[in-house]
Amino acid sequence: MTALNDLEAKKLKKRLLRHVGKAIQDFNMIEADDHIMVCLSGGKDSYGMLDLLLELQRKAPITFKITVVNLDQGQPGFPKHILPEYLGSLGVPFKIVTEDTYSIVKRVIPEGKTTCSLCSRLRRGILYRVADEIGATKLALGHHRDDLMETLFLNLFYNGKLKAMPPKLLSDNGGHVLIRPLAYAPEKDLSAWAQHRGFPIIPCDLCGSQENLKRKQIKRMLQAWEAETPGRLDVIFAGLQSVKPSHLADFELFDFKNLKAQPGAERLPFLEPMEV
């Protein structure tokens, strides 16, 4: 990826801020006096999310607080100095939480099997606890537009469910609200922004090191579709925001059983069948 010139960087920043601002507005993600716990993994997406939220915080017509939280999962060779130094240079409040979930995952999951599910559950539980400890009202996660679409096809192909990642979610116990401010932001833009800003990326030795993940297979499929027909991902994402339950087959979501013709309804004129 080539370096951005000043004009390109300015346009990219403006585009990303527009995406994040619209997502926050559309889903009412951030309200006055909120305390947002920004979950920073050390990857390009969470760095970008923090960068953009800090910019919006300076410009927003409302006041809200940001605290950055990173979970040190005990990965061997994890560079513990990078995040404190980076966050300290920003002057943003932060908390590093150390919990050895790495050993648990490696002990429980057989070699070669996907670690994401268990790792995610352990991580999410710890983050909920920390959110309570610091009094956070929302937890911000760095999932972007591509993540939402990949999850849609993962659930459809492998779980037989038509669902994706929602931009805003209430936890199962009802005690926490999760937000995804990058829900409208394409991954390619976040990659370009991370390179331009020179974020000190910390690779993951668990999920990030597994090449056979179904998510990576789905990502390659979507990238191939986009290369074949540019703009196809825009159309797919638009579909996530235009759902018609009456045109699916979930009888718990739509009352098909009691669907009946309405007496006196205006009759449509007979149309000749069209050739397709």
User: Can you give the pTM of this predicted structure?
Assistant: 0.88
What digits encode the pLDDT tens for the residues 228-272?
A: 999 999 999 999 999 999 999 999 999 999 999 888 777 766 665
What digits encode the pLDDT tens for the residues 92-136?
A: 999 999 887 666 666 666 665 665 665 677 778 889 999 999 999
HSE, CB side, 13 Å, CA atoms: give it for residue 82. Answer: 16
Q: String of b and e for 88-109 (b: at least 16 CB within 10 Å)?
A: eeeebebeeeebebbeebbeeb
pLDDT at position 266: 76
What digits encode the pLDDT tens for the residues 174-198?
A: 999 999 999 999 999 999 999 999 9
Please determine, for residue 206, whether its predicted confidence score (pLDDT) is greater than 70.
no
The third-level CATH classification (topology) of the domain covering 6-247 is Rossmann fold (3.40.50)
User: What residues contact residue 142 under an 8 Å CB cut-off, 6+ apart?
Assistant: 39, 40, 41, 43, 45, 46, 48, 49, 180, 182
